[in-house]
Amino acid sequence: MRVITRHTALLVGAAALGLAVVAFAQGSAPAASQPHPHGLFGGMLNALGKQPFILLFLIVAGGYALGKVQVKGVGLGSTAATLLLGLGVSLWAYQAFHITYAIPEFTSTVFFNLFIFAIGMKVGPQFIGGIQREGRHLLLLALLVPLLSSLLVYLSKFVFDLQPGLLAGILSGANTATPGFGAAQSALASGSVKLAGGATLEQARANLTTSYALLYSVSMVLFTVMAKVLPKLFGRDAVADAKAMEKVLAGEQQSALPGTAESFLRGSMPVDVRVFRVENPEVDGRSLKQLSHLAPRAGIERVLHAGRIYLPEDGLVLHQGDEVAVAGPVGLLMMGPQRIGPEVDDSRLRDIRFETIEIVAHKSDLVGRTLEDLAMHEGHGLYLNAMFRGGDELPIARDSVIRRGDVLRVTGSRRRLDAIQKRVGLVVRPSLVTDIITLALGVSLGAFLGALSVPVGGVKFSLGSAVGLLIVSIGLSILRTHNPALGGPFPEAARELLEDLGLNVFIAILGINAGAGVASAVAGGTLAPILIIGVVAALVPPIVAWAVGQYVMKMNTAVLMGAVAGARCNSAGMRAAQEATHSIIPAIGYPVTFAVSNLLLTLICYLFALMG
């Protein structure tokens, strides 16, 4: 109960902090007698306005630092903290010194698109499994949240005297639905809007923009915090549920699929190196080629003879007193003293490093052969970690036949891996280099797909760049499980950098640019109704959807967190869910609900704008 109370207090505290920042703008308008910044802080804020690059990354750094601050184990997280800090600095500059910050929207678009692409590159394989299990539930949640939010906003016009443009602005801002905001702008520009009360088109546009900017910021912060709080409030362990779903999607086989972030993370080493002194008469006088057939899964990597170290060659003959470094599965190495001689400690011979690679079968030397045959020849001294076909892991058996396109994950010494690479097919190694061609073409294709529009009854529908990028990146990541060489290397460290930096730079720009709009809402006297309606429309539908998902649909908590974030079109909320669960699982429920909700809100915002 105390944990729930702390989480509730944090949510209320975050809301109070956000509203306090907004309330700061309720001071008097900037004095006309002081058009220029003055004093130490005025000069500093003015200088930052002239150097937006410095301002932007100072906000990002401060947001990350503030996000690490926790009260009894609970904190805002980097995303919400970055938005609050950016908004606070922007309001301070505008209200106190009449400084308006305006970082180009193109910059935020670039970073947001990189974030979305990085998410898709991670979640692709799990996305298919999640859709197969929860597809119907995801679609229902994608309809429930935007429709309920739209209903609440529409009913508010019977309680408040709302000016033209506010309905669409409140709905799009409360749901952080940028395509809906764009559709509402198009509706106002169409000339088909009949404005009541003598309002002008310019006033309607101003109301639309102001309410959208204000609620986008406020609802982003509140929902990001709420995304972490909801599981505890409903008595669920999000971390445990995420791990349970990971096991379900992995099935009985636990090996990571080819081309995924975990494919080269071995965990415990499957092989080891031991050094033995040759004393067995059956080994004395025999060549390495003769011995290789006796233990194809273990290989001699170095030989110490007469004080000199030799690399293994087929014709090298072992003699009594030689020391040999043998690499292989631990179970086989334990038989070394019986078959070779006593184990000895020689660090010079044991200094052998292993790598894990993935081999894509396409050469005739490999295709059509059994695993047993491969182990006796090219695969001698190598350890087969896993075998995949068509993106699925196969059981390993001696008589398993290798087909074209199969992927073999193999661990061994660099020398043996280099040798097998020349004969058996395409090899994919761990890499610190990112294939920029694939990244650039993928982002371009996703943006192009999202830009394609279909006119329906005067409304142009498009997927939007975010949905287009998700489709392309998810598709590419799924194809890479079939052929990990497709698209070149895409290391997990680079993908995580794109995800983290992309989202938080986008959020920082949002907060920095929103200060003047928030202050305008206060000056226009529309702050109270916008906030009341917006907060209700932003938070009530997700809570209802959560209850339905948990109690009616019996959904996994981690998937539900992502689904609700997607239905709210809130990428920061999805990221907060990943942080709370320490898992990528929330991203499984995000793409479908995000796409459907965005399309639905686009249509409704257009209709709300036409209503005037």
Predicted pLDDT of residue 543: 95
Q: Is 27 found in the same domain as 12?
A: yes
Residue 458: pLDDT band (50, 70, 90) is low
| Structure-token match 């001696």, residue found | 398
- Name the residue with higher pLDDT: 495 or 153: 153
CA distances from 501 to 112, 351, 574 (A): 9, 39, 15
Half-sphere exposure (Cβ direction) of 208: Cα atoms closer than 13 Å? 30
Is the per-residue pLDDT at 202 higher than 80? no
Query: Is 325 in a helix, a strand, or coil?
Result: strand
- Number of other CB atoms surrounding residue 338 within 10 Å: 8
Query: Is 387 in a helix, a strand, or coil?
Result: strand
Q: Please check whether residue 149 lies inside any domain of the structure.
A: yes
- Name the residue with higher pLDDT: 175 or 423: 175
97, 42 Cβ separation under 8 angstroms = yes
Is the per-residue pLDDT at 174 higher than 80? yes
Residue 399: give the domain boundaries. 355-428
Predicted pLDDT of residue 195: 72
Q: Please check whether residue 261 lies inside any domain of the structure.
A: no
Final residue belonging to a domain, choices 294, 329, 350: 350
Tokens of 266: 């071995």
| Structure-token match 């993106």, residue found | 391
Q: Is 344 found in the same domain as 364?
A: no
Predicted pLDDT of residue 350: 79
> Cβ-count burial of 553 within 10 angstroms (0-12 exposed, 13-18 middle, 19+ buried)?
middle
pLDDT digits (tens, 9 = 90+) for 572-605: 788 888 888 888 788 888 878 887 887 788 788 8
Tokens of 38: 């003055």
Predicted pLDDT of residue 16: 42
- Name the residue with higher pLDDT: 550 or 182: 550
Predicted pLDDT of residue 170: 93
Is the per-residue pLDDT at 26 higher than 50? no
Q: Give the whole-angstrom CA distance, residue 123 versus residue 117.
A: 10
Q: Is 396 found in the same domain as 298?
A: no
Q: Is 297 found in the same domain as 240?
A: no
Q: Which of 218, 244, 253, 193 is nearest to 88 (CA)?
A: 218
Predicted pLDDT of residue 17: 47
Q: Please check whether residue 435 lies inside any domain of the structure.
A: no
Q: Is 326 found in the same domain as 424?
A: no
Q: Is 400 found in the same domain as 508?
A: no
Final residue belonging to a domain, choices 350, 368, 398: 350
Mean pLDDT of 95-115: 86
Q: Please check whether residue 257 lies inside any domain of the structure.
A: no
User: Regarding beta strands 407-413 and 425-428, do their DSSP bridges make them parallel or antiparallel, or are they unpaired?
Assistant: unpaired
Q: Give the whole-angstrom CA distance, residue 260 versus residue 251.
A: 16
Q: Is 239 found in the same domain as 179?
A: yes
Q: Please check whether residue 90 lies inside any domain of the structure.
A: yes
pLDDT digits (tens, 9 = 90+) for 499-545: 889 888 988 887 888 777 777 766 766 778 888 999 999 999 999 99
pLDDT digits (tens, 9 = 90+) for 64-88: 898 888 776 656 677 778 878 888 8
Q: Give the whole-angstrom CA distance, residue 570 versus residue 574.
A: 7
275, 347 Cβ separation under 8 angstroms = no
Q: What is the number of structural domains in the chain? A: 3
Q: Please check whether residue 34 lies inside any domain of the structure.
A: yes
562, 590 Cβ separation under 8 angstroms = yes
Q: Is 396 found in the same domain as 378?
A: yes
Q: What percent of the chain shows pLDDT beyond 90?
A: 13
pLDDT digits (tens, 9 = 90+) for 159-170: 988 888 889 989
Q: Is 210 found in the same domain as 65?
A: yes
pLDDT digits (tens, 9 = 90+) for 86-99: 888 988 888 888 88
441, 451 Cβ separation under 8 angstroms = no
pLDDT digits (tens, 9 = 90+) for 529-540: 888 999 999 999
- Domain CATH number, residue 384: 3.30.70.1450
Q: Is 166 found in the same domain as 65?
A: yes
User: Regarding beta strands 383-389 and 459-462, do their DSSP bridges make them parallel or antiparallel, or are they unpaired?
Assistant: unpaired
Tokens of 191: 């000339």
Q: Please check whether residue 484 lies inside any domain of the structure.
A: no
Q: Which of 282-291, 316-325, 405-414, 567-576 has the highest mean pLDDT?
A: 316-325
0.75 exceeded by the pTM? no
Q: Is 69 found in the same domain as 180?
A: yes
Final residue belonging to a domain, choices 308, 327, 350: 350
Q: Is 422 found in the same domain as 522?
A: no
Query: Is 95 in a helix, a strand, or coil?
Result: helix
Predicted pLDDT of residue 33: 42
- How large is the angle between the packed helices 201-233 and 2-24, nearest 10 degrees? 160
Mean pLDDT score of the chain: 80
pLDDT digits (tens, 9 = 90+) for 466-493: 778 878 888 888 888 777 777 777 887 8
Q: Please check whether residue 378 lies inside any domain of the structure.
A: yes
503, 575 Cβ separation under 8 angstroms = yes
Predicted pLDDT of residue 267: 54
11-20, 276-285, 343-352, 546-555: range with lowest mean pLDDT: 11-20
